[in-house]
Structure 1
Amino acid sequence: MNTSFERCENTKVEWLTPPELVKQLGEFDLDPCSPIDAPFYHAKNNFTSLDDGLRKDWFGRVYLNPPYGRGMELWLEKLKFHGNGIALIFARTETKCFFEHIWNDADAILFVKGRIKFYHVSGVQGGTPGAPSVFIAYGKANATALKNSGIEGRFIFLK
């Protein structure tokens, strides 16, 4: 099985946040981007691509590891307006998405030290991605949870 992050033609690969990292952030009510037949879950309630989580109403505290690539900003915008959750994306701080949905709207960010080893939907932990990651907190309670998570990196309050 190829568990690298390199692009493969005609392949759609879902990568999952290591469960031990999400547990450090506390309990979540909803993961709107959960894979079908996930080897583990990050929230009490989960939407898959069959549910079209982007179109559903979100509730409670949300954990978001959105589909990367085109359309990712729609997921971050929805979380921003929901105002209660933590997202994990690549730390590409110069992008339009970062400027439109994070720098002026998030409560805090945590740049993760090193590279996260994500899991493949098969449950196998894969290689490291080609970019560093950042957690983004929306809501004061989530900023505090992120600060106190114990995840190694550099924490910054934005508000």
Structure 2
Amino acid sequence: MPNDHRHYDETDAGPEWGTPKWVWQPLAETLGGFDLDPASGAEEEPIAYVRVQLPTDEHPYGTAVREEGVTTWYGDGLEEGWHGDVWLNPPYGRQHNPRWAQKVSEEVERGALDTLTALVPASTSTNWFQDHYANADLLTFIDQRISFDGSGSDSASFASVIATFGDVPTAYVDALGELGFVVSTDVSAVRATAPREPSTVTPEPNRGGVR
């Protein structure tokens, strides 16, 4: 954990930071709640009905704890299969970003997900982003630097983007629009522009000097 509590995208200074409620809650409400959070533990309150959290001395690998309608599974979200409507705010850093991005692609291709909502650094020039997030159905560029739970009052040193995979309701897209600029990566949804016909108007001769 860095001394200045700042949150970086491509260092391993502080991977455990929680998502503030104003980011995830409006999206969750449109889906009837998220089914799974495979990288939980840093948030101030549970985001999904099932959470995967790293094991502890008190809760060794494979332990499941149910409390107030939420099940916490102590394991590794990179090793578990994902299901339903998934929320993901993975650990950030050079070691973490590529591994979690690869896992996202694997789970999307496996076909057990309804939707996947991933909050990640907007590192659009990196290989891990181009290979695994750039093909999301929707990309939403958050219109402010996020102050993550656990970071004090400091905002992140980088911009954030939400990558959405799967079919989502209109209300979800509207909620994204409240968070930032939404881009659809579905080329088929882009209306083709017909080529313009050549002009048949003959320009008038210039009789009065420069116009």
* TM, length-normalised to structure 1: 0.82
| Post-superposition offset of 1:138 | 0.7
- In the alignment, structure 1 residue 25 sits paired with structure 2 residue 49: no
How do residues 4-15 of structure 1 correspond to structure 2 at under 5 angstroms?
4-5=6-7, 12=14, 14-15=16-17
User: Hey, what does 2:82 align to over in structure 1?
Assistant: 58
Q: Per-residue CA shift, 1:100-141, capped at 9, x if unaligned?
A: 0122x3101000001111101xxx743101101000001121
- In the alignment, structure 1 residue 41 sits paired with structure 2 residue 54: no
- In the alignment, structure 1 residue 112 sits paired with structure 2 residue 142: yes
CA distance in 2: counterparts of 1:17 and 1:80, whole angstroms: 22
Q: Per-residue CA shift, 1:12-38, capped at 9, x if unaligned?
A: 5511110121011122100000017x5
Question: Whose relative contact order is higher, 1 or 2, with alpha carbons under 8 Å and at least 6 apart?
Answer: 1
Letter in 2 for 1:32: P
Distance 1:106 1:16, change over 3 A: same
Letter in 1 for 2:51: N
CA contact (8 A) 1:30 1:63 kept: yes
Q: Identity rate of aligned residues, in percent?
A: 30
* TM, length-normalised to structure 2: 0.64
**Of 156, 179, 182, which aligns to 1:129?**
156
Unaligned runs of 5+ residues in structure 2 are 56-74, 109-114, 187-211
Structure with higher Rg: it is 2
- In the alignment, structure 1 residue 73 sits paired with structure 2 residue 98: yes
CA distance in 2: counterparts of 1:34 and 1:90, whole angstroms: 17
CA distance in 2: counterparts of 1:67 and 1:118, whole angstroms: 12
